[in-house]
Amino acid sequence: MSEELECLDRHEQNCTGPVERYESLSGTGTMITRCRVHREKALKRHEEIQERYPDSSVAPSWFDPAVAGERWDDNY
Ligand SMILES: [Zn+2]
């Protein structure tokens, strides 16, 4: 019996592709579970944050940890 994996962003209701476990983008080693589409969205969002706020450890006002599924990283 295999473990049932649920996409972290399943409330967006447009999950597509296999749901897999990935290491958190913030590099904390936390494992998060996302479908392929939401994984790609999260990755894109992460890259945009890195470009705009490369030196900031403070979350911008629009950053929603509930949406990102990850805490604003405190280890940068
Ligand atoms: Zn999803």
Cα-to-centroid distance, 64 and ligand 1 (Å) = 17
Q: Where are the domains of the chain?
A: 1-53
Would you write out the chain's pLDDT as a tens digit for each of its 76 residues? 556 899 999 999 899 999 999 888 877 888 999 999 999 999 999 889 888 877 766 666 776 666 656 665 665 5
pLDDT at 26: 76
Tokens of 42: 């999260």
Place of tokens 């990283």: 73
Cα-to-centroid distance, 13 and ligand 1 (Å) = 7
Cα-to-centroid distance, 21 and ligand 1 (Å) = 12
Cα-to-centroid distance, 47 and ligand 1 (Å) = 19
Contact between residue 32 and residue 8 where contact means Cβ atoms under 8 Å apart: yes
The dihedral of CA 27, 28, 32, 38: what is its sign? negative
